[in-house]
Amino acid sequence: MKKITSALLVAALSLSTLAQASTAFVPPVPEIAGKAYFLMDYQSGQIIAARDPDMRVEPASLTKLMTAYLTFKALKEKRLTLEQTLTVSQVGWKQEGSRMFLDPKVPVTVDNLIKGMIVQSGNDACVTLAEAIAGSEEVFAQMMTAEAKRLGMKASNFKNSTGLPDPEHFTSVRDLATLSAAIIHDFPQYYPTYSIKSFTYNNITQPNRNLLLYRDPNVDGMKTGHTEGAGYNLIASSRRDGRRVLSVVVGTASPEARAVESSKLLNYGLQFFETPKLYTAGQTVSTLPVYKGAASTLAIGFDRDVHITVSKGATSRLKAEMKTLQPVIAPIKQGQEVGKLTVSLDGKVLLERPVQALKAVEEGGFFSRLWDSLKLWLGW
């Protein structure tokens, strides 16, 4: 890897425009009364605060986030439709715990099943969807674990679609945050379901158990969970001033406690941190010389927006460095990795991101390739 001076200069200039006038006080993370917690910025993906992020925990009904993810995926792939009707099986109908009170004699739309699963936390809805997608809940659980691995959830294993206790059914707060962010990013059209405060089915109205939906107008999701072994769990998402933060709190003592502790984390992340956008997707950060190509230069940048989360007032101290592969020889594919951006604060690396070719560069003609070969050999 060879440093390119012009790329370093461009990065420094881009960051300098984000300088803040003063440095704000950042208190320590508040005390959280739970077994484990995780707080992340959605846009940057950075951890703001965490305790025992990889400890094995019982997710309880937070499991239903993965059931929902696979349901949304089936809708995207047209293996299900929202208008499609399903009938609850005897297995689904006899599920323990929270239910949306399905009637085996009455077909129900997938749309209503999704609301029953998310708002009412219906175990009968989960099993009905699982059986429709995979044929059986057992096979669906295998799909859940496989999907978790694909998403990078390294500490998760699923044995059912509902979250009912099983010694081999577990996850971590880090994995739950990863899954929550994936739902918001991959299925934004379905995410608003998590903000519905109540849902009526079979003449029975049940409220959403996420108390923060009623108390904080910035909170728009996501899911509660509870079993005797797990305690009271809550994943919450809050959006304020263009930012979104996600909190995961597990093992609290009551529904009130999980709401209060989650609120502490969300407010801490929103009040004392900021997430500036460093670069826009598709923006030319720099250009590199190209050898043996139909074009002599290559525009480089990023395929998605680049955000970074820092304490308020610290943006002016960020330093960016870009290293690129040299020499760059055609052909180059669009999106091909050609370098790496590193952003640090006071000597600590906060972000590393691949730098990519924004456009393809095809191989040049015979004589241009020959001439560039000579230049490379001579070191020109």
Residues with catalytic annotation? Answer: 61, 64, 121
138 token code pair: 């057992």
**Cα–Cα distance for residue pair 301/358, rounded to 1 Å:** 6
Cβ neighbors of 190 (< 8 A, separation 6 or more) are 68, 72, 75, 114, 183
**Cα–Cα distance for residue pair 256/122, rounded to 1 Å:** 21
Task: Write out the DSSP string of 190-226.
Answer: TGGGGG--EEEETTEEEE-S-THHHH-TTEEEEEEEE
Three-class SS of 333-380: CCCCEEEEEEEEECCEEEEEEEEEECCCECECCHHHHHHHHHHHHHCC
**Cα–Cα distance for residue pair 300/339, rounded to 1 Å:** 9
**Cα–Cα distance for residue pair 172/177, rounded to 1 Å:** 9
